[in-house]
Structure 1
Amino acid sequence: MVFADIDAVQSALAKQDYVCGRALATVVFLSLRLGRPLFLEGEAGTGKTEIAKAIAASLGRRLIRLQCYEGLDAASAVYEWNFAEQMIAIRAAEAAGGADRDILKTELFTEEYLIERPLLEAMRPQDGGAPVLLIDELDRTDAPFEAFLLEALSDFQVTIPELGTIKAPEPPIVILTSNRTREVHDALKRRCLYHWVDYPDFEREIEILHARAPEASEALSREVVAFVQKLRTEDLFKKPGVAETIDWAKCLLALDVINLSPAVIADTLGAILKYQDDIQKLEGSEAKRILEEAKAGLETV
């Protein structure tokens, strides 16, 4: 089951509270229709991970997530053997009077002692159809893992020396994300459809906030979005993403805030800025200046 057209993609994702622009909806539609992996790149907090969750939910598929990190290797991403259970089986065989070494070795390396990791899980048949495989923050890994991934995604199969090759009966829906802390190799990108997920414009971010924090009033939502968008134009180490906009709005609602003020901003900066150097830049009159400029901008919107 795939979406009938691009409008259907936007409608289905909207039902999962994911506000999707037409360009992104188009590349999602083509990825599903053509069976091509989708590579999403952009700043942290712009909704790359969330779209995988929304696609899985809208299609009724299982979401399998491989969270990448420095030092991740093929074995950790595919499978590992349950050494603790294998040792128990060896001790039990010894206590029972021993067993033929070759027979015992054959018995130890079976599905019973196999721990499946995300890539292997995604190759297995799933209830409801092929799963959505999210390979998150690929830029955290290194070139050898990329090379392995290139092969795995080309044939949708993995090899376990003791068991042989396991091929997916139906290729999973693959979504890769990157925060672009380093460049991902062109060979991998060529296998995928690509889309840069940028910060949304004012109106779209308002839509997103209405979907994710519907309790916020129109006035507060507009002030929050205007302030965050103005903040992104400042010289910051880490600009706030859409995720921070949503978190901040929810914090303000929890504090029963009706309108933004310099005092409220100072008290809640930790919800939108995650580095002390950035927070220090907004201390004193800076927060007041940005708020005034944001409110002035609202008058022209």
Structure 2
Amino acid sequence: MDNQAPTTPVETWTIQDEQVGTRLDRFLASQVENLSRSAIQQLIADGSVEINQKPATKPGYALRLNDQVRILNFIPSSAAKDIVPQDLPLDVVYEDADLVVLNKASGMVVHPAPGHYDDTLVNALLARYPELRDHKEDVRPGIVHRLDRDTSGLLIVAKNLQTQVALIEQMKDHRIEKRYLALVEGIVSLDRGTIEAPVGRDPRNRQQMTITSVDSRDATTHFKVKERFNHHTLLLLQLETGRTHQIRVHLKAIGHPVVGDPIYGTGRIRFGITLQRQFLHAYQLRFIHPHSGEVIELEAPLPPDLQSVMDDPKHL
């Protein structure tokens, strides 16, 4: 988020011995792909970079041992002005004056990012809900949480700043229940269980996440077996935290990656299954409406591409 809503750090680094003395902008350019030094300098000017929990002011700041460097927003404010409304289809599951819950299609990116400013959910939201355009400097207007591009399912969007702030606080306090369906490789032996392992950026590949104790955040995923097949298991998962790629990283860690996951799984579709993406769907959502106090419980059935896999169990 930008400064109109509570900011959650999206990336954090602790400076090590070999990085001492490096210019701040040069260091960040080496850590973040697809972000030029000029873009990083704009982020610093926007106040989107912090050192030891204080806004960085100089791109040439010489890093010191154990400095904590954080980027709060990867999109320079100048880029926000270029985000245009686009009339793209949206599947609305629930809507009132304050918020809307969408069933996001696989393949749709939630918000603009470097190199991808069009055809996102935000572009579609700006066209459907003109009031969101008032947040001119926000590249994530109304967005409370996100789903990976190829993950389908339920997503909450706030229509006004007050609702957005309240829902973000619910999210931080783990009061929004999110459950997912995932078809995973192999037979999961436990009927239910909990995966607790910190998730952070993979130092060898900055575009991926991994389980690590370095610059990571605690992550907890609960799972329950819904059905076992010959070669696969259908899991119902509930997130206690919402780290980037958390489910996919955690399932890989226990030896049962999501079927079709090109990054954390084998990426190979075997046993005759026809699927063009990972089998992961945000299935159920439960939260308290920030203004009415009503408990909202919603469910989105599996989309056709995932349901067709389940309809042909001989391949499972």
Relative to the length of structure 2, the TM-score reads 0.22
Query: Which is bigger in relative contact order (C-alpha 8 A, separation at least 6)?
Result: 1
Give 1 or 2 for the bigger CA radius of gyration.
Answer: 1
| Structure richer in helix, relative to its length | 1
Q: TM-score, normalised by structure 1?
A: 0.23
